[in-house]
Structure 1
Amino acid sequence: MAATDILEVFDEEAGLSFAVSPTFGGEFASLRVRRANRWVELLHRANRFDRPRAGWRGRAPWLFPAVGRSIRAGRPGSYALGGRVYPMPIHGFVKDRAWELSSVDKRSVVCVAASDAETRKMYPYDFELTVVYSLLPDGFSARAEVVSAPSNPGSMPFSFGNHLTLAIPFGPGGDGGACIVRSPASKELFLSDKGLLTGGSAPSPCRSGRVLRDDPRLCDMVLGGFPAGECWAELSDPASFGVRVRQSVLGDAGHARFVFYSDGGRTFFCPEPWYGDPNSLNGGSSLVRLAPGERFDWEMEITVV
């Protein structure tokens, strides 16, 4: 594929459209909905693949095999495994790689990322990550499957997630700072100044909804303790509509998180679904551990409410 190739799935009747770029991280490159006879782009920096001079790149990068920072001996960017030290970029490496297009039809796109000689320099396991992007009646779905190669010498550890970046406000004349954040999570998990969990927690402030401008913590927050089957976060623009992001995982959902990140409500808000915690490759907790030949299934749904 050419470097600028973008695949679009479009449903005029439903008023839904998404785009995926296999070349640039195999991620959602655009999410559009039609409201009041106008198309609204939901993603910050949609279909833009240049690196901004400052600030966050936007769109919806995949996070694998690490979420957040990997910090060893007080220094970011590495982890220890089996007596060796490996480099690991923030949020892993699949976001920075070209993926392969597996299939495309009128309602879905399938992309695949797989291990190779370059990934083994950072992560000594063979894997295949497949994502199926599709339309829902009221939004979008990304279903991910991670398979540990049968040839792996032991269980493959990783954490997983997506850095979904919503452009705010959703409607013309709206105010991003007035958007309301809501989630059924029971806990806020405290972060250190290095972006790692401290082990401390408090009741979540988001159960009844918080205005983005009124609570600076929402610019960098981790939520956990979700009720069974209710792992979601919602961002509502009082001047237009809301977007709910839900994650589901086949198996134990105890390590499911939502991480919030924002520029203070000026242009974007990230309701990031994570499975696992920062620095999990070093800390060893909140990891998926796949035996050779096993698979991990995870889904992100993005719906308009």
Structure 2
Amino acid sequence: NYEVLWTADNKYWGRHAPVLFPIVGGLYKKELRYKGKTYHMNQHGFARDNDFTLISQTENQIIHEFHQTDETKQLYPFDFTLKITHTLKGNDVMITWDVTNDTDGTMYFSIGGHPAFNVPPMGDTPQTDFYLRFGDKKQLEYISLDTSDGTALPQITTPYTSPDGIFPITEHMFDNDALIFEHNQIHEVSFLFPDRTPYLTMHCQDFPYFAVWQKPGAPFICLEPWYGRTDNSGFMGDFSEKTGIQKLEKGQTFHAEYSITIH
């Protein structure tokens, strides 16, 4: 047996698998502008820093819920219910998000996953002996980031290719921050052991954005399915015009899910 999920060692990164809500990535100048008013919010939103309420728990499923508070309304002008369900079935974990708009009007938001996995999961095998595989994809591309503030430079893209679809994990892979893939490129991603057999696989069929990130030198790598992404550098528009923003009318519920298989 071995530990799969990162242990949140503060020496490297003190989180396990935060949910990113109501933004993914950063806001330009940390400013959210909506209907003429400006709010301030840190990277990845506030859900990950708040306590959720336990709604139900069974032998193989647990459901948590979070609503707006007086504090969140100072950062984000919408009322909402965020429900997160984790379901265990054999070697699979299903993560489900349901976001309901409780606002009297239209609501805008982004949401994303940020689970970190131990690579290597055990022993002293060098991380650079492991691989990534993105289903049957051999040709991908990721956008660049302004490393001073984490905003996107989508006009600058980098090809990411492998003739056999096996992508090595290299020492300097994350020197310029996360690899962010747009346009629904990633439907499935696996970590492979040095012998190229799978360690774990994430299935994320409908996600328009996906990121792979590591704090350089840390013994973990994050696989991040997203509905939304960081602001474009210099974006000063209304929150409703943000790249990747999701829209809900009053009373509507947004549903998304992804799964992780341990091989």
Q: 1:233 aligns with which of 189, 201, 214?
A: 189
Contact 2:174–2:215 under 8 Å retained in 1? no
Residue in structure 2 matched with residue 299 of structure 1 by the alignment:
257
* Structure 1: gaps (5+ residues): 1-38
Residue in structure 2 matched with residue 171 of structure 1 by the alignment:
122
Residue in structure 2 matched with residue 100 of structure 1 by the alignment:
53
Q: Quote the sequence identity (%).
A: 22
Please tell me whether residue 196 in structure 1 is matched to residue 151 in structure 2: yes
Report the alpha carbon displacement of residue 117 of structure 1 after superposing the two structures with TM.
Answer: 1.3
Whole-angstrom distance in 2 between the partners of 1:165 and 1:297: 22
Please tell me whether residue 284 in structure 1 is matched to residue 242 in structure 2: yes
* Structure 2: gaps (5+ residues): 233-238
Q: Residue 164 and residue 209 in structure 1: after superposition, are their counterparts in 2 closer, same or farther (change >3 A)? A: same
Q: After TM superposition, what 4+ stretches of structure 1 lie above 6 angstroms from structure 2?
A: none
Residues 183-232 of structure 1: CA deviation (Å, up to 9, x unaligned): 237331222223222122243336812211255248621112336xx612
* 1:48-59 matched pairs, under 5 angstroms: 52=10, 55-59=12-16
Contact 2:95–2:258 under 8 Å retained in 1? yes
Q: Which has the higher contact order (CA 8 A, sep 6+)?
A: 2
3-state DSSP class of the match of 2:2?
strand
Whole-angstrom distance in 2 between the partners of 1:139 and 1:89: 32
3-state DSSP class of the match of 2:170?
helix
Contact 2:131–2:169 under 8 Å retained in 1? yes
Whole-angstrom distance in 2 between the partners of 1:154 and 1:115: 15
* 1:145-160 matched pairs, under 5 angstroms: 145-149=98-102, 152-160=103-111
3-state DSSP class of the match of 2:38?
strand
* 1:1-305 matched pairs, under 5 angstroms: 39-45=1-7, 52=10, 55-71=12-28, 75=29, 77-149=30-102, 152-183=103-134, 184=137, 186-193=140-147, 194-200=149-155, 201-205=157-161, 208-213=165-170, 216-217=173-174, 220-226=178-184, 231-238=187-194, 241-249=198-206, 253=207, 256-264=208-216, 266-279=218-231, 281=239, 284-305=242-263
Q: Residue 139 and residue 133 in structure 1: after superposition, are their counterparts in 2 closer, same or farther (change >3 A)? A: same
Residues 20-44 of structure 1: CA deviation (Å, up to 9, x unaligned): xxxxxxxxxxxxxxxxxxx211111
Q: CA RMSD in A?
A: 2.4
Report the alpha carbon displacement of residue 181 of structure 1 after superposing the two structures with TM.
Answer: 1.6
Residues 86-106 of structure 1: CA deviation (Å, up to 9, x unaligned): 111210001000100000011
Whole-angstrom distance in 2 between the partners of 1:215 and 1:89: 27
Count the aligned residue pairs: 249
Report the alpha carbon displacement of residue 301 of structure 1 after superposing the two structures with TM.
Answer: 0.6
- Name the amino acid aligned to 2:215: D
Whole-angstrom distance in 2 between the partners of 1:209 and 1:226: 19
Contact 2:174–2:216 under 8 Å retained in 1? no
Whole-angstrom distance in 1 between the partners of 2:261 and 2:70: 38
3-state DSSP class of the match of 1:186?
strand
3-state DSSP class of the match of 1:213?
coil
Contact 2:131–2:167 under 8 Å retained in 1? yes
Residue in structure 1 matched with residue 235 of structure 2 by the alignment:
none
Report the alpha carbon displacement of residue 241 of structure 1 after superposing the two structures with TM.
Answer: 4.3
Report the alpha carbon displacement of residue 81 of structure 1 after superposing the two structures with TM.
Answer: 1.0
